[in-house]
Structure 1
Amino acid sequence: MEAADGYPVEGVADPEAWLRSGDVLASWVAEADHQVVGHVAVMIPNGEDAVALWTQQSGESHERVAVLGRLFVTKSARKRALGEKLMRTATAYAQARGLRLVLDVMTKDTAAIRLYERLGWRKIGDTTHRYGDGQQTSALCYVAPSS
């Protein structure tokens, strides 16, 4: 995943532990030809800028916000609408629980940004994603459409 796509940008020493983090409320995978080719998670907020921006702008409580994270689809499985299906599944899960989803995305990830905007997500601000040993890149924060 990281070697092929540069995701996650900070790398992951133990991918299984990363995917099964205690911050994950729920997660789903996409399969093609009997192989996992995609993933998405709904996560408990953990200091993300998107959460702070949304709660400031909306007045909504942190308890009513969750983070859409760890969305990826392998290059070999793209163009099958799997990212959209994963996003819709995660959004439905959050809406059924009265949670508003937010996310941040690095500005270099233009295909992901197009997907979010096509699905009605709204940009709520800009941020800087910091990782590694003092590295950083620009990012955008989004909120899911209301149910």
Structure 2
Amino acid sequence: MIIRPFTDDDLTGAATALVEIHDTDGYPVEGVDDPKAWIKSEGVLAAWIAESSGRVVGHVAVTKPQGEAAADLWAEQSDDDVDRIGVLARLFVVQSARKQAAGRRLMEAAMSHARARGLRLVLDVMEKDAAAIRLYERLGWRKIGETIHHFGSGETIPAVCYVSPDRLT
């Protein structure tokens, strides 16, 4: 398993993995009508992929805050300026790679990146994604609140907001 920075050459493989994950886990809840656009969304500061035997099996990004509840909650709770907050986003790992610590290793890459840039990371996660919540908590992320995620044509789903475990300075 290799964790490395995402390049444009990885987009097709990452999109294929995302569609697979949506089929097995329902992530993202918004669906995957245009997986490439979802992966390459605006505000991405950096991204990484997990690769196994030449196949993209996972992805994570650090983005600028763009209205995520966790970023707003953390800014209120900590008095951190919004330019010191990053969002851990677009984390997904295909089922066959989950026992190889791909999720943990992708998160560690993102956290290291944030630490080097003095960013505090936050994230929103749907309550239904229990395995992801367990991973975040094992890595020391702390729950800072709850929210309702809005998507589609008026659909909603409960979500939990987390902050990274240490001051990333």
TM-score above 0.5 = yes
Q: Name the residue aligned to 1:94.
A: 114
Q: Provide the rounded CA distance (Å) in 2 between the counterparts of 1:17 and 1:105.
A: 20
What is the root-mean-square deviation in Å for CA atoms of aligned residues? 0.9
Q: Name the residue aligned to 1:113.
A: 133
Within a 5 Å distance, the mapping from 1:1-147 to structure 2 comes to 1-146=21-166, 147=168
Amino acid at match of 2:75: T
Q: Provide the rounded CA distance (Å) in 1 between the counterparts of 2:129 and 2:31.
A: 16
TM-score (norm. length: structure 2) = 0.84
Q: Provide the rounded CA distance (Å) in 2 between the counterparts of 1:36 and 1:50.
A: 28
Report the structure, 1 or 2, having the larger helix content.
2
Identity of aligned residues (%): 60
Report the alpha carbon displacement of residue 13 of structure 1 after superposing the two structures with TM: 2.2
Report the alpha carbon displacement of residue 2 of structure 1 after superposing the two structures with TM: 1.6
Q: Structure 1: which 5+ residue stretches go unaligned? A: none
Question: Cα deviations across residues 75-113 of structure 1 (Å, max 9, x unaligned)?
Answer: 121111000000000000001000000001011111111
How many residues are paired up? 147
Report the alpha carbon displacement of residue 41 of structure 1 after superposing the two structures with TM: 0.3
Question: Cα deviations across residues 23-57 of structure 1 (Å, max 9, x unaligned)?
Answer: 11000000112110000000011011000100000
Q: Provide the rounded CA distance (Å) in 2 between the counterparts of 1:25 and 1:94.
A: 10
Report the alpha carbon displacement of residue 17 of structure 1 after superposing the two structures with TM: 1.9
TM-score (norm. length: structure 1) = 0.96
Q: Provide the rounded CA distance (Å) in 2 between the counterparts of 1:70 and 1:100.
A: 17
Q: Structure 2: which 5+ residue stretches go unaligned? A: 1-20
